[in-house]
Chains A and B, each alone.
Chain A
Amino acid sequence: GQSLEQPSEVTAVEGAIVQMNCTYQTSGFYGLSWYQQHDGGAPTFLSYNALDGLEETGRFSSFLSRSDSYGYLLLQELQMKDSASYFCAVRDQDYGQNFVFGPGTRLSVLP
């Protein structure tokens, strides 16, 4: 089976940098995705890592270490609009190559 762990809540202030972690256990790992979901909205795709290392897209960066079964999403220059839930999702061969979503981290950005 698969299991993913994420901290339930993170709080940071505007302009700061925040890192949200994701650890996973799966036997058929293909890659790790990150999604943002504002209250009442649909999840929005942020990034996908299949190989070790850091991927950067604007203020967002995502990191993967396959050997450690670990990844993180890094948000820089935090803005109030970044307050949302962030889900990591593992693409798993044993799950029909579908994505299994983690429990999510709720990020609150304070002024």
Chain B
Amino acid sequence: SAVISQKPSRDICQRGTSLTIQCQVDSQVTMMFWYRQQPGQSLTLIATANQGSEATYESGFVIDKFPISRPNLTFSTLTVSNMSPEDSSIYLCSVEGGPSYGYTFGSGTRLTVV
């Protein structure tokens, strides 16, 4: 299965600022997924990122707030813009290893907005 390097692992940010999270995969993948996980909660899909096209956002998530880049088949970034304390959460990227292999997740970025 793929190996994902995600950074930063954690950050504390001031409200109103932006943070960009990076994910690097050790193999080429068609789709990358960005999830949010609030403390003690389940995972919620933010968007799906395909190389060479606009990301597809799920209901409740918009590009202006969570812009995503996918410049090649091994890399993606998620930016959390104009942050507020409600954005405090864990953000995870993932890739699919095939229908029987499930998703592989990055180690996550624990974001605290103060």
B-contacting residues of A (Cβ < 8 Å)?
30-31, 33, 35, 41-48, 50, 87, 91, 96, 98-104
Do residues B42 and A87 form an inter-chain contact, with CB atoms below 8 A? yes
State which of B41, B42, B92, B101 has its C-beta within 8 Å of the C-beta of A45. Answer: B101
**Which residues of A have CB within 8 Å of B102?**
33, 35, 45-48
What 7 pairs between A and B have smallest CB-CB spacing?
A45-B102, A42-B105, A101-B43, A101-B42, A103-B42, A33-B102, A43-B105
For A87, what are the chain B residues with a Cβ–Cβ distance below 8 Å?
42-43
Are B33 and A98 in contact, CB atoms less than 8 angstroms apart? yes
Residues from chain B with a CB closer than 8 A to the CB of A100 are: 45
- Look across to chain A and name the residue whose beta carbon is closest to the beta carbon of B35: A101
B48, A48: Cβ atoms closer than 8 Å: no
